[in-house]
Amino acid sequence: MIHILQCAARTLDLSAPVVMGVLNVTPDSFSDGGRFTERDAALRQVQKMLADGAAIIDVGGESTRPGAAVVSAQQELDRVIPVVEQISARFDTIISLDTSTPEVMRAGAAAGAGLINDVRALGRDGAVQAAKDVGLPVCLMHMQGRPSTMQSAPSYQHVVDEVLAFLVERIDACVDAGIAREALLIDPGFGFGKTDQHNLALLAQLENFAALGLPVLAGLSRKSMIGRLLDRPVEDRLIGSVALALMAIERGAKVLRVHDVKETMDAVRLWQAMQPFMERKE
């Protein structure tokens, strides 16, 4: 399978796995009222993630954490657009816009974003049209429920089949609206309305997602399933995160969304070094 995505002016080659670094931005670090040191810290974090080998920087303005408050479109614009502008002006990288909001997709694309990462799989009114209009690749993620309540009682008959069926339906909706199938990525959405058992089943069966023929993104970094399975607080989930990331690329994931770029890249590079000696090649 050849996956080359055109992300605005840049090309993303997914013939080998790549790392997407998560940018932590405090809500006002880029606004006019934000402290210079906060903005500076965020830009230094971008610089470090790029030096460590990240191919993509993921920027989000709406917290999707369980129980998170809803953010207005204007608040999201105020938070995200200055960040995208700054990164775009200073660094040669692909900026992923973590948003479900059509206005943010349009403004973010104009500000220099190269990819849309939507945890609602373009489910909001006008989102499919906005994504089509801006012409950027889109990552479609599965979520059961809404961020505020999704972890209260996740329930599936057959989690893998249901998540696959959802993603197929969203792929079809995008293609029907005129978005090229080749511009789509898919993501089972680890932690988004899933128990640990659901997450483990999805990871174990990740090859079924890769079999759809679209690049698979896996976001496992520091997630609470690692905390529960290993009894580790969030600041002690690095080894667990890298272990799960490696299991994901072994099962065909092409983009790893992570907080710890350097350590994940070490695992990716060792996996890559081994590939010429594998019987079955990617």
Q: Which residues in this chain contact ligand 7PM in the complex, by CB under 6 A?
A: 22, 64-66, 98, 117, 119, 139, 141, 187, 189-192, 217, 219, 221, 223, 257
Helix (H, G, I), strand (E, B) or coil at 142: coil
Residue 68 C-beta: closest distance to ligand 7PM, Å: 9
Q: Which amino acid is at 125?
A: D
Among 39, 132, 194, 257, the active-site one is: 257
Residue 36 C-beta: closest distance to ligand 7PM, Å: 25
Active site residue 254: no
**CA atoms of 258 and 95, how far apart (whole Å):** 14
Buried b / exposed e across 47-57, counting CB within 10 Å, b at 16+?
eebbebbbbbb
Q: CA geometry: angle at 141 spanning 139 and 146, to 5°? A: 135
- Tokens representing 260 are 């710890």
Residue 226 C-beta: closest distance to ligand 7PM, Å: 11
Closer residue to ligand 7PM in complex, CB, 32/235: 235
Active site residue 257: yes
Closer residue to ligand 7PM in complex, CB, 101/221: 221
Residue 32 C-beta: closest distance to ligand 7PM, Å: 26
Closer residue to ligand 7PM in complex, CB, 219/252: 219
**CA atoms of 39 and 162, how far apart (whole Å):** 41
Report CA torsion sign: 181, 185, 190, 192.
negative
Q: Specify the DSSP element, H or E, that contains 56.
A: strand 56-60
Residue 100 neighbours by CB under 8 Å, 6+ apart? 62, 118, 119, 120, 122, 123, 124, 127
Among 120, 222, 223, 254, the active-site one is: 223
Shortest-Cβ-distance residue relative to ligand 7PM: 219
Return the closest-CA partner of residue 258 out of 7, 58, 14: 58
Closer residue to ligand 7PM in complex, CB, 86/199: 199
Closer residue to ligand 7PM in complex, CB, 130/258: 258
Residue 196 C-beta: closest distance to ligand 7PM, Å: 13
Residue 63 C-beta: closest distance to ligand 7PM, Å: 8
Closer residue to ligand 7PM in complex, CB, 187/260: 187
* Straight-line distance from the first to the last Cα atom of the chain, in angstroms, rounded to the nearest whole number: 8
Contact 50, 58 (CB under 8 A): no
- Cα R_g (the chain), whole angstroms: 18
Active site positions, annotated: 223, 257
